[in-house]
Structure 1
Amino acid sequence: MDLAASVGSRLRELREAQGISLSELARRSKIGKGTLSELESGRRNPTLETLYALTTALGVPLSTALHGLASPAKISGHAVDAVLVERFEAEACVTETYRIRIRSGATQESAAHSPGTTEHVIVLAGIARVGGLADTALIGPGMHGSWAADVPHLYQAPEGDVEALLIVRYPR
């Protein structure tokens, strides 16, 4: 099964397990009902932004839609490519680790995630501008930053690609 079909099937399972209609999930996530139907049937490739909108609306971490697939899933957004490296579940939180690339000159504004979610980045190469929209920081190689991700936030590579590790923590 390819990535689109696997993720689409997982999204449908998550939605149905919560007893949410396709129309209701479309409303909550602000994703068109037709787009959502195509995603669930595997006829459309998911973007990073779309998956975050859907998993946030479902109240689950992004990795819930990606974890356990046959091969590591690479999900791309407007400016960021992400590969889920690890998902760790503890009593108090779910922690995800991603290897990310922020494409040169690109900016991605991410919508707020579930309440209490935080993000932490360690830059391996390049210079990234990251953080809450009103409180960004420039982070260079070997540096790290963290911010509340339950508010809109951004990723930007002002000059050249950025390679980094991203850790996302969702409270239970």
Structure 2
Amino acid sequence: MASSPAISADGTIYFGPVSGNVFALYPDGAVKWVFPIGVGVFGASPALTLDGTLYVCGSNKVYALKTSSGLARSSWPMFRHDPRHTANAGLPFVFPPTLFSPTLQSDGQFTIDVYGEAGSTYQIDVSGDLSSWSVLTNLSATTFHTLIADPQAASYQQRFYRARMLP
């Protein structure tokens, strides 16, 4: 999970989008319900209002879901905020590079989605054994999401990838 959950007054924990779904969990961790939203916004936290409306992004839409309880009236911490919900945390947020959605395209080309900070430079490395690594490509992210291709992937029985932020 790459975002903060929302906690309701009855203890329900809401989080997502994860694999195209928003989840509601009972306080003991059991699944209360799952709502499909399609492709979500990586790092986007759900927002819960006092009246119990849960807002979440997915598939280029904003969903408003009615829940059983409103926002918890406590000082639980939020992602990048202080415990009183009054300000951003004082440290700068660094979004680590993350690799998602490895896909073998119909033309035989292998692609990976790289998520990271716009304006940052990343090095994508490849390995056949997780011991020795070589550079596949360097990229300067202009948005938080970049699709890269590995034209040599089909030549290998197995291939591992990692992303590193460059200074």
- Could you say which TM-score interval applies, normalised by the shorter chain? 0.3 to 0.5
| Greater Rg by CA | 2
TM-score by length of 2: 0.33
Question: Which structure features the higher share of helix residues?
Answer: 1
Q: Which structure is higher in RCO with an 8 Å CA cutoff and minimum separation 6?
A: 1
Question: Which structure features the higher share of strand residues?
Answer: 2
TM-score by length of 1: 0.33
